[in-house]
Amino acid sequence: MEKTGMADALADMTKRSSYFIQIEDDVKNYTNSIKEVKTALSSFQTSDMAELIKFHQYVESHIEKLFDESQVPIRFEDFPSKKLEGLRMAATLYAKLDAIATTLQNRKIECQVNQLIDKVDKYFNKIKEELDTLDRTKDDELKKFRSQNIHFDFGILVRIKELMVEVSSNCMELAFEETREQRAKEHEESAMNGYGKKMGLGKILWRVFQFAFRVYTFAGGQDDRADNLTREIAHEIQTEPSST
């Protein structure tokens, strides 16, 4: 009897607590909204990432109004909580990858090649390990998403690699431009100064070549533009006195 009385008392305390009162109020006040989200979530499936992001925003616009967004929905029978979790994971992942692609696409060539390499190499190191890991595990991630009828488009990984190759090519072209300008000055300077600048040219070209090779390895290949530029860089390094 004592145990029964204690259980009843705890149940009564739970009902009276402000936390659970607020949850029950949300269940009543947002019934139609949650049912709408429940139906939409259950039937949602797409391979269009723009549509996925838009749908995620729609769902969150309803869920974020709730006092407890994890406890209120599950009061509704068969609410697809795992589908909601999968949608959030997919939207977060795609937004992150899209931000990387946008950063690479908007990378401006407005400084000397050494400064540019410093910036792009730092960013490359920042994203490379995570992208390599994702590339290895994407099949498993796809299975998880598909189990919730979410068809994630990992084609954006290919796009990121293409953009990284493009950034690398831009660095090589800038290195060539600076090399031509430097050599033009050599004709007007003393042999000693000219030799010193050639030493600098060799180091710049070698650094750009190393970065291009790292990007090539990361991307699993490169386009014709990058291939031609890499060959030209290699030739320049071999003919520079500073490369020895």
pLDDT tens digits along 122-153: 999 999 988 999 989 999 999 999 999 999 99
> What local confidence, expressed as pLDDT, does residue 1 receive?
46
User: Percent of the chain scored above 70 by pLDDT?
Assistant: 86
Could you report the per-residue pLDDT of 158-204, keeping only the tens digit for each?
A: 999 999 999 999 999 998 888 888 777 766 665 555 454 454 678 88
Residues contacting residue 167 through CB under 8 Å, at least 6 positions apart: 104, 107, 120, 215
* Domain spans, the chain: 2-79, 110-243
Amino acid at the residue 204: I
| Mean pLDDT calculated for residue range 45-56 | 94
Query: Which tokens belong to 163?
Result: 């953009």
Taking phi over 0 as left and psi of -120 to 50 as alpha, with beta for the rest, 44 belongs to beta
